[in-house]
Chains A and B, each alone.
Chain A
Amino acid sequence: MKKRKGIKGVALLSVATTLALATAACGNSNDANNGEGASSSDAGGKGTVTLTMMHPWTSPNADNDVYKARIAAFEAEHPNIKINQDGVAAAQYKTKLFTLAAGNNLADIDVVWPGADLDPLVSGDLLLPLNDQMSNWNELVREDALAGFNKNGNQYAVPTKQNFVDIIYYNKEMFSKVGYDTFPATYEEWIDAIKKLKAAKLTPISLGNKEQWPLQSSYMSTLTQRFAGDDFLQNVVDGKAKFTDEDFVKAVAVIDELTKLEAFNSDANNMDSVQAQDYFIQEKAAMHITSATVNARIRIDNPNGSKFGIALFPSVPGGKGDPKKAAGVPQFGIAIKSGLSKEKQDAALEFMKYFVNEDLYKDLSKAGIMVPTKKNVAGEGEINPFLEELMKLTSNGSTRVFDSVIPTQPSKEFENGLQALTIKQGTPQDVAKKTQAALDALK
């Protein structure tokens, strides 16, 4: 009898616990649903609005410091608006962005990429069109830089910097050691220099291709333009050309040739891009091909910066593209999530006006970063000579970056194919064929 009573008690207790848990869970989900409105009063006194912002500014870069300082300055000047930052490492950023987008869970303010990467966000109506706000930026930002963030006549984001992805940084001492006092101007000379560097027991090119984008973005954007011309990638997307065309296969074959010459460090596929920069900065390799952002790290902030020169990829035999052009992309577009409450949307626009303005462009320029502006933001003598040199090098027009034109799936297929070439698997024809097949599968 006594025992039974005890058991009854346990049963009752369990039911009570279950109910409590269930109601607690419901309560939580209600809170989450009301979160947008509720957080405004909960967070910190009257009228405080809390915004979430996701950005990829985590690694130690000159521009990342500027961006973060700007957010801090905004918060200091707007005590009623709080920015909750979600910093995601650059290599994982796009994956997280699109996963959150799929669950309709974007942060209130997001950093987005132009072109093919913006399309799914726009087609899902996830971003706020900024058309009636553009008077804030039309005077400041170049039209061509805004264009990548414009879809169907709507402006969805404003870029904060201009990047070029294909700058060749080279060690002047190593090149003069093998008889080149200036950077090779033609492809034949370049290959000759690589052979001589190799013979002198120097690693010709430091490459960190573990994340797979460097070969696709920094190498193949330019090589495609040099061999097949400016419009080739767009033509492929429009169905007017194919990856299997001879010119493109020739461009891919460069990676094959570099592999056969053993031009890259042997651990290229196990290193990330930052490790490859370190390699180059520590003078373990003669060249490193990567984005203009790194100019600050390799040359401006580095006491030995003057040892390193910059160049663009040389002209190629029979090439259809202008060898003076670099592959450029406006980056870090700031966008606002659609469907925010009035209060939050106003706060987000307030933030955007403050964040993307002349002062940001000025601060970035001073830190040695290029910005997509038509104004002369830096005063006389304020521009670092290394940045000036880079601006001059990239001032002859730009060609587009591979994955900003080609959709994600064929781009990923292409990255894997390129990586296969670096371990001597497959042929340039195979790579071209598979990339074309991945593009065709989308239609």
Chain B
Amino acid sequence: MNTLKGTRAAIFFGMLPALLIYIGIAIIPIFVSLYYSFFNWDGISAKSAVGFDNYVRIFNDSVFWLSVKNNIIIMVTGLIGQIPLGLLLALLLNRKMRGSTFFRTVGFMPVVISSVMVSLIWGMIYNSEYGFMNALLGFFGLDSWQRNWLGDTSISMYSVSLAYIWQNCGLYMVIFLAALQNIPGEVNEAAELDGATGLRRVFRITIPMIRSTILVAVVYSISNSFRVFDLVQILTGGGPAHMTEVMTIYMYNHAFVSRQFGYGSAASMLILLFSLIVVSLVNRLGREKEI
């Protein structure tokens, strides 16, 4: 009994520094932001309290809803792109083969390259006049498929999503790879003896065994998609004419570019709210299945 009590105290004290730092740089600013969201303030002159005005204005702004829609596109394409692709890559690389370390490094590379580089590279690939994408299509005689990838509003958001998937799927690959390597060898041997091979083994044995990891990856992918900023900001700046604007860019443009800090704070509160709602939904779905 005493021992347990002592351990708890030790854990508490051990975590205290990290906790203090976390509260200081993550929790307190959220409340500060909440406070500012009730003001009309340019950051320099005096604040004036406006109650829920900022929230009402945001809800009536069609650009905000466009940014929400774009976030949902990023979220959905991210989920159906990153998770299966990450899993596929992990399954391929989990086997004993020559050069697997090399391929793992290559797969993980986009995750560690800075977003600025990723954006610039994809910006060049997508360029409508000299870009690699159109050149490639032209090379294969698919001229009619050539597009203004980032300028054509009907597809620009999907072009951004593709770059986003490419940038992040290596991360999920590594997460899944770690989970796969934790599956005991006996399980696979037993499965093989029972005649479960190939895809059958993947779906019946492997995936159920790393189910909790997949769920964590799904939650991570969703909350990540609400935070996407740098890639889009550099690739398109949210343009043309708001067509690729996501919620973080909406918030940034109002708070920092047109200097409405109160309004921007209100937008950031909504980002927090939206991601909390979606993540808790996913968590609940995951838990129900487990029972």
Contacts and interface: CB of A to CB of B under 8 A. Distances in A.
Interface of A: 3-4, 7-8, 10-11, 14-15, 17-18, 21-22, 95, 98-99, 101-103, 120-121, 123-124, 126, 210-212, 265-270, 408-409, 412, 416-417, 419-420, 422-423, 425-426
B2 interface: yes
Leading 10 A-B pairs by shortest Cβ distance:
A102-B43, A14-B13, A420-B241, A124-B44, A269-B240, A7-B6, A419-B241, A409-B258, A267-B128, A10-B10
Contacts of A416: 239, 241-242
Contact of A423 (B13, B14, B241): B241
Given A4-B6, A266-B128, A423-B241, A124 B45 contact: yes
Given A7-B10, A14-B10, A98 B239 contact: no
Contacts of A270: 123, 126-128, 150-151, 236
Interface in B237-265: 237, 239-243, 253, 256-261
Contacts of B127: 267, 270
B13 A120 contact: no
30 contacts: A3-B3, A4-B2, A7-B7, A10-B10, A11-B6, A18-B20, A95-B257, A102-B44, A120-B42, A120-B44, A120-B259, A126-B44, A210-B237, A212-B237, A266-B151, A267-B148, A267-B151, A269-B151, A269-B239, A270-B128, A270-B150, A270-B236, A408-B257, A409-B259, A412-B257, A412-B258, A416-B242, A420-B241, A423-B151, A423-B153
A18 B241 contact: no
B239 A18 contact: no
Contacts of A4: 2-3, 6
Contacts of B126: 270
A268 B151 CA distance: 8
Contact of A412 (B150, B236, B253): B253
Given A14-B10, A416-B241, 14 more contacts: A4-B6, A18-B17, A102-B261, A120-B44, A120-B259, A211-B237, A212-B237, A212-B239, A265-B129, A267-B128, A408-B257, A409-B258, A409-B259, A422-B240
A121 B43 CA distance: 10
B123 A408 contact: no
Nearest to B6: A7
Q: Which label, helix, strand, loop or mixed, suits the secondary structure of the A interface?
A: helix
B67 to A, nearest CB: 13
Given A8-B6, A412-B257, A99 B43 contact: yes
Interface of B: 2-3, 6-7, 9-10, 13-14, 16-17, 20, 42-45, 123, 126-129, 148, 150-151, 153, 236-237, 239-243, 253, 256-261
A98 B264 CA distance: 14
Question: Which of A98, A269, A423 has the largest count of B CB atoms less than 10 A from its CB?
Answer: A269
Most buried by A among B13, B16, B123, B153: B13
Contacts of B261: 102
A277 to B, nearest CB: 15
B14 A10 contact: yes
A273 B274 CA distance: 36
Nearest to A21: B17
Nearest to A14: B13
A8 B261 CA distance: 48
B236 to A, nearest CB: 7
A215 to B, nearest CB: 11
B240 A11 contact: no
B259 A210 contact: no
Instruction: Determine which residue in B126, B128, B243, B258 has the highest number of CB atoms from chain A within 10 A of its CB, and name it.
Output: B258
A113 to B, nearest CB: 14
- Most B-side CB within 10 Å, residue of A4, A98, A417: A98
Nearest to A410: B258
B44 A269 contact: no
Contacts of A266: 128-129, 148, 151
Contacts of A10: 10, 13-14
A12 B176 CA distance: 39
Given A95-B257, A270-B123, A425 B241 contact: yes
A419 B17 contact: no
Contacts of A17: 17
